[in-house]
Amino acid sequence: MGVLSAYGDWAVITGASSGIGEAFARRCAADGLNVVLAARSADRLRAVGRQLPGVEHRIVPVDLSLPGAAGELIEATAGLDVGMLVSNAGDGRPGRFLDQPPDDLRRRLTLNTITHLDLAYGFGRRFVSRGGGAMVLVAALGAVHGLPNMAHESASKAYVLNLGEALHHELAASGVKVTVMLPGNVDTPIIDRFGLDRARLPIKPIPAGKAVDQTVRALLNNKPTIVPDRRMRAAARLTPRAMSVRINGRMLGEAAANLVAHQPR
């Protein structure tokens, strides 16, 4: 059995149908944790579950951008000994803030903030009651400053960063570990969905599994935050804030233009 199995029999993972969420599912299963896989697509969740031999899995098809959906997930796992939460579900779209429909901004705000709030609160209370547990809240490296052409997402991810960093300290005395993952260059489908040109990315993306392994190590070592990939950590530390905002804003502006150019007419 791996070290993650010490937290309980089950892990709940949102956004588990691909990318970072799928990689967390594989890592938890490899460590002997049964997994609850949550995302919108039941078919994709079943496909992920079939690739997790040696453990039990359950799927919870749920759209966490809808109000109250996080409560459905908490209720669906009420009878399980859940000892770990990976709150990973999120969404975004490059583009100017005022060019985006308000209803879509609100939907993404629910997914990127309220869902993390509800899950951290609901499972946090369960973990405290059982005397221990672990949480990984997935934000984004863009949470550390406002990003032009992704203003909404950098703002909402900042909520996750600050929530998780504070809970890391608040819940420590109750035996609950909390780490915030700040991915910046992880190879997931979102790179293509954002319209980013992989060849022009300043640092080559690392595999999602490698980023997850580094995050698990940070969790076990009781670190409040982790930026996967030492190259990205060094770049984030050494690049002046104004320069980082300018470079990333320009890259996201180009991505937004690519998305518009490829929209069906």
User: Is 139's pLDDT higher than 80?
Assistant: yes
Whole-angstrom Cα Rg for the chain = 18
At 198 the pLDDT is 72
At 254 the pLDDT is 81
Distance CA 65, CA 77 (A): 19
Average pLDDT, the chain: 92
At 127 the pLDDT is 98
Mean of pLDDT values over 41-53? 96
Strand partners, 85: 12, 135
Distances (CA, A) of 171 to 116, 133, 220: 16, 10, 15
Share of the chain above pLDDT 70, in %: 97
Count of CA atoms in the C-beta half-sphere (13 A) of 9: 8
Q: Which residue has the higher pLDDT, 208 or 263?
A: 208
When mean pLDDT is compared across 138-152, 182-196, 222-236, the lowest value belongs to 182-196
Share of the chain above pLDDT 90, in %: 75
| pTM, rounded to two decimals | 0.93
Please return the burial class of 240, using the count of CB atoms within 10 Å of its CB with bins 0-12, 13-18 and 19+.
exposed
At 239 the pLDDT is 86
User: Is 208's pLDDT higher than 60?
Assistant: yes
Q: Which residue has the higher pLDDT, 1 or 124?
A: 124
Distance CA 82, CA 9 (A): 6
Distance from the Cα of residue 36 to its chain's centroid = 15
Distance CA 87, CA 136 (A): 6
**In the structure, what pLDDT confidence band is assigned to residue 265 with cuts at 50, 70 and 90?**
low
At 241 the pLDDT is 87
**In the structure, what pLDDT confidence band is assigned to residue 112 with cuts at 50, 70 and 90?**
very high
When mean pLDDT is compared across 46-50, 69-73, 134-138, 260-264, the lowest value belongs to 260-264
Cα dihedral value 201, 158, 65, 190, nearest 10: 10
If we measure between CA atoms, which residue out of 225, 257, 42, 52 comes closest to residue 144?
A: 225
- What is the tens place of the pLDDT at every residue in 22-38? 999 999 999 999 999 99
Mean of pLDDT values over 52-79? 96
**In the structure, what pLDDT confidence band is assigned to residue 262 with cuts at 50, 70 and 90?**
low
- What is the tens place of the pLDDT at every residue in 163-206? 999 999 999 999 999 999 999 888 887 777 777 777 777 788 89
**In the structure, what pLDDT confidence band is assigned to residue 264 with cuts at 50, 70 and 90?**
low
Residue 94: both structure tokens together? 């490059």
Q: Which domains does the chain have, with CATH numbers?
A: 3-261 (3.40.50.720)
Please report the sign of the dihedral spanned by the C-alpha atoms of residue 57, residue 58, residue 63, residue 69: negative
**In the structure, what pLDDT confidence band is assigned to residue 119 with cuts at 50, 70 and 90?**
very high
**In the structure, what pLDDT confidence band is assigned to residue 126 with cuts at 50, 70 and 90?**
very high
